[in-house]
Amino acid sequence: MAAMEVAVLAVDLLLPVPSSMVATLGGAELGVVTGTACAWLGLTISAVAGWWLGRRAGGLALERLDPAERAALQRHEQRIGPLLIVLTRPLPLLAEAASLFAGGAGMRLREFFPAAAGGNCAIALVWSFVGATGQSSEWLPLALAASLVIPVVLACLALRGPLTNNPTPLNRFQPEKWLR
């Protein structure tokens, strides 16, 4: 079961894996400590793979930006890059996109890895605890439902931004400009 949890979470970058549900099930079956370790390892492998892929493929996209856009992207990456990595860890699709973006924007691995590993450890612990607690109190179906719904709602709110008309930085991100 432990190897399966790691493997499924490691391919999250390539396949539509509900990582929160997998980590919750891991906690239910393996306990908090082992479930957290397995979820952390799988999530971190996926994050580093995303960073590496972004690093390899991102150079082509960056070459298409004009120098001013490239400089602005690098300033944003230096200012909020690690924080963005940490904050997107529990958000479906955004975590993977942030990993790819970090690699493509040139974030160094020594900056990316601690942010991704730390964020993954926190979320792995939360979901493993929810799974183990749900299993012991016979609330596992509710815990699994929550592990699917909560991240999706948070991702939708992050993409939507505040209730004002001010767009979030994620809404202003326009990769289609790179493809011209």
3-state helix, strand, coil in the chain (%, to 5): 80, 0, 20
Q: State pLDDT tens for residues 141-176.
A: 888 888 878 888 887 777 675 544 554 444 454 544
Q: Is the pLDDT of residue 17 over 60?
A: yes
| Average pLDDT score, the chain | 84
CA-CA distance, 84 to 41, in Å (whole number)? 20
pLDDT band, residue 139 (cuts 50/70/90)? confident
Helix axis angle for 67-88 and 32-63, nearest 10°, is 170
Q: Is the pLDDT of residue 87 over 60?
A: yes
Residue with token string 């699917």:
148
Q: Is the pLDDT of residue 110 over 80?
A: yes
Q: State pLDDT tens for residues 24-59.
A: 999 999 999 999 999 999 999 999 999 999 998 876
Task: Give the distance from CA 95 to its chain's centroid.
Answer: 2
- Looking at the structure of the chain, the number of domains it has is 1
Q: Is the pLDDT of residue 96 over 80?
A: yes
Q: Residue 141 has what pLDDT? A: 83
- Map residue 63 onto helix, strand or coil: helix
**Domain encompassing residue 30:** 2-179
Contact 82, 114 (CB under 8 A): yes
Backbone angles phi, psi at 162, to 5 degrees: -65, 170
Contact 62, 12 (CB under 8 A): no
User: How is residue 23 written in tokens?
Assistant: 């980590």
pTM: 0.80
Q: Residue 161 has what pLDDT? A: 57
